Structure 1
């Protein structure tokens, strides 16, 4: 009998994934950050950032940028890398791990690690030797995950939305 881990496929995102990605992004974002509900500020951010056409454009313009985890033809996780991003607190321009979202039901199945491994292979094959991520300082689950995967804290930086500012921990990983 197969296990969930064995049945998960890691592959590049394709335009046909855009609707499912939009829903996955929204669901994980609200579950992670909507601890006090969905404010106008959060709603505006979610609608803009996770718009289907925006996702389609991202996939078309850089086909290596989005990597998905698929289980029984359904998306269960996604990783998005943005190349040449200025780190918010250091004089570093390197790829940013923009998103690593796993549906709650599929957490603790090593899917996040598989997505990271695939992204790192793509980066290494492009002669890139480091990348960074910033994580909300209260998101201990994500911070512990990145520590386990050898990211090192290099500072903190504010993430400004419409009205509120959120403190983030900035992490860097050398490949």
Structure 2
């Protein structure tokens, strides 16, 4: 399988929104109420919000294609675009989303390696991310890639307040 990582632009906003929403709903709908899911998706993946995020110079989005088919995407944040840590020496991996059709085929690892490569290229000392405490599959994935838990933060999901683990990997 030939993989290609491509930076996203503002012209990709609708594709980012559609892919992110579809992947997010597939991953988390069974663990949350329909009302909370609808409220979160409406807020987090509105086209205006996606366009604003794509326009932020401190955020970067990347698509990964597997044999010319969109298989996943990566969202990275620096400086004030970060959702929690706000350290100029760090890079936040906000999203690694992989299509259901490509899960278990190394796309997540490919995107993680791209994030690490970009962080090193930008002279960062570490990468960090937030992951829902109930997302066992993601927790195992991040631990396998050398991340350790360093704290927690609250994550508002619809009408519910959930707990995310903050995980860090030194470079």
| Runs of 4+ off more than 6 Å | none
TM-score normalised by structure 1 residue count: 0.83
CA drift at 1:13: 1.4
Aligned residue in 2 for 1:168: 164
2:5 aligns with 10
1:34-80 Cα offsets, whole Å, 9 max, x none, are 11565333212212211233323333333861111113443210110
Could you tell me how far apart the structure 1 residues matched to 2:16 and 2:140 are?
A: 25
* Aligned counterpart in structure 2 of residue 87 of structure 1, from 84, 87, 91: 84
Q: TM-score, normalised by structure 2?
A: 0.85
Equivalent residues of 2:59, 2:77 under 8 A apart: no
Aligned residues: 167
Cα separation, 2, equivalents of 1:35 and 1:17: 28
Query: Shift in Å at residue 152 of structure 1?
Result: 0.8
1:164, 1:95 → 2: CA distance?
A: 27
The counterpart of 1:29, out of the listed 24, 33, 42, is 24
Cα distance in 2, alignment partners of residues 161 and 64 from structure 1: 22
User: Is the 1:159–1:165 Cα contact (8 Å) retained in structure 2?
Assistant: yes
Q: What root-mean-square deviation, in Å, do the aligned CA atoms of Structure 1 and Structure 2 show?
A: 2.2
